Structure 1
Amino acid sequence: MSEYEVLIREFEVEDYNRVRDMITSGLREAVALIVKTQVINKAGVWAILLGFVAVVGLISSIDLMSLAAVSFLTLFIYYVSGLLYMNFYCLPMELEDINSGCPIDRYEKFWVAEVGSPARREIIGSVALRMAGDSNEYKLELKRMSVDKKYRRDGTASLLLRKALDYSLEKGAKEVVLASSSAQMPAIHLYSKFGFKIRRIFTEKVMYGMIHYTIVEMSHTN
């Protein structure tokens, strides 16, 4: 747990800019990790490409260093293209409900975590719940779970998650569901510790199939 006092309170309109920036920053971290993982996972492809370059260099008059530079440039373009695509196409869709105005009316509950003195407090985390699906049963979806990078691994995420689960139990929700990228393994591990079970794993493909990432859907039954 943290060595400082963390206050969990409900979201207020004046929190909007700070919360939006914090959530966006966290998602961009995940995007960078997804693209980096793609590059690593395709190591075999890059090895074949570099091997081909080496063979071409040996049997031709083309300078080997020039060919290697072209291969590296290909890898670099792939990485940068993935980052740009994910940041400017996928993220805006994910953040539509938080970038288009104050999100307080789009969720059943929205909380923030704060630290600091009564005179000057800083928002370091957030979590929200909203109605899930069109089921006749009362289910909630966990959204906007985010903690500032400087304050991670100090128990703040656990406090936020416990707040959301306690609320769902108090209101009689049958289930709390969520979806997370497999790149966010610390978050998935935390959800598992709180009793969330994996119910579905599937792959999303973007950038015409050049980038794919795994989505983990989890649920918590009250």
Structure 2
Amino acid sequence: MASYRIRQYRDQDYDAVRTLFAHGILEHAPAGYRHFLHSARAQLGLLVFFVAVRAAAGYWVLGLGAVALVLAATWLLVRSFSTSYVRQALSTDLCDITTSYLRAPDSCFWVAEAGGSVVGMVAVAPPQDPAERGVALELKRMSVSKDYRGQGVSKALCGEVLRFARARGYGAVVLSTSMVQVAAQRLYEGQGFKKVGAFSPSLLGSLLCFQIFHYRCDLPGHTAAP
């Protein structure tokens, strides 16, 4: 197992953190595309589209070509969905990490360092949901380099967030993760998180059969939320 340490973010980590985050999000685009292709809604829609084009044009080859164009366009939409999310994050809280997480109240940002390089990251901040403010903190921006997955880095980063929230008297930690991030879901569930909701983040997300899962971990010593 590789040696690493968890420490607070420093300004010199800026480029490495932003690159790690972008790569971590974009690598899930193929999984999102496969999920769309495997959904019953997508398969039925493609079949109906093929039959309609075949009937209108009179050639099955044209029908297959039309379906291929739809599949290519769908991949571009999935990729655009991911890149838009990355751009939004890099232009907001990850644009000024120190101000967003180290100077803001009840917030922090940690990195995992190995061999002098940043190989993991996680942040914590008050949640956007007004109903959770003052009750819980939100785990955000979790990402670990591919070469260091399965070595306890994610678990250690998650533990920092849980300890941080507990030390400040909060009763829970909440987070959101996508339906295609199966390994992340297993990690969070192993740390005591429970799925408490799901939603599509946009109309495009609904069309792509894509959902975001909400998780919550009630901390020991506090009454669980109803």
**Do these two structures clear the TM 0.5 threshold for a shared fold by scoring above it?**
yes
- 1:123 paired residue number: 118
Give the 3 Å change call, closer, same or farther, for CA 10–141 of structure 1 in structure 2: same
Mapping of residues 45-64 of structure 1, within 5 Å: 45-53=45-53, 60=58, 62=59, 64=60
Cα gap change, 1:136 to 1:75, in 2 (>3 Å)? closer
Q: Quick check: 89-98 or 73-82, which moved more?
A: 89-98
Secondary structure of 2:134 counterpart: coil
Indicate yes or no: 2:77 matched with 1:78. Answer: no
TM-score (ref. length: structure 1): 0.83
Is 2:101 the counterpart of 1:104?
A: no
Tell me which residue corresponds to 1:6. Answer: 4
Give the Cα separation in 1 of the matches to 2:62 and 2:194: 51
1:217 Cα shift?
Answer: 0.9
Which has a greater percent of strand?
1
Q: Counterparts in 2 of 1:136-151, with a 5 A limit?
A: 137-151=134-148
| Cα distance in 2, alignment partners of residues 20 and 29 from structure 1 | 14
Deviation of 1:66 (Å): 4.1
Letter matched to residue 50 of structure 2 = L
Q: CA deviation at 1:53?
A: 4.9
1:22-37 maps to which residues of 2 (within 5 A)? Answer: 22-37=20-35
Aligned match of 2:17: 19
Distance 2:123 2:161 in 1: 7
Q: 1:77 Cα deviation (Å)?
A: 1.7
Q: Distance in 2 between matches of 1:205 and 1:196?
A: 25
Aligned to 1:167, which of 156, 164, 168? 164
- The 3 A distance-change label for structure 1 pair 9 and 188 is same
Contact kept, 8 Å, 1:23 with 1:144, in 2: the verdict is yes
Q: Secondary structure at the match of 1:97?
A: coil
- 1:175-208 residue CA offsets vs partner (Å, 9 max, x unmatched): 1111111111111111111111222222233338
2:217 partner SS: strand
Distance 1:221 1:206, change over 3 A: same
CA contact (8 A) 1:200 1:217 kept: yes
Distance 1:69 1:159, change over 3 A: same
Structure 2, unpaired ranges of 5+: 102-106, 220-226
Over the residues paired in the alignment, what is the CA RMSD in angstroms?
A: 2.3
Instruction: Report the TM-score when normalising by structure 2.
Output: 0.82
Cα distance in structure 2, aligned partners of 1:81 and 1:203? 15
Q: Which residue of 1 aligns with 2:178?
A: 181
1:136–1:68 CA distance, 2 compared to 1 (3 A):
closer
- 1:88 positional shift: 4.3
The answer to whether the 8 Å contact 1:204/1:212 transfers is: no
- Residue 190 of structure 1 is matched in structure 2 by 187
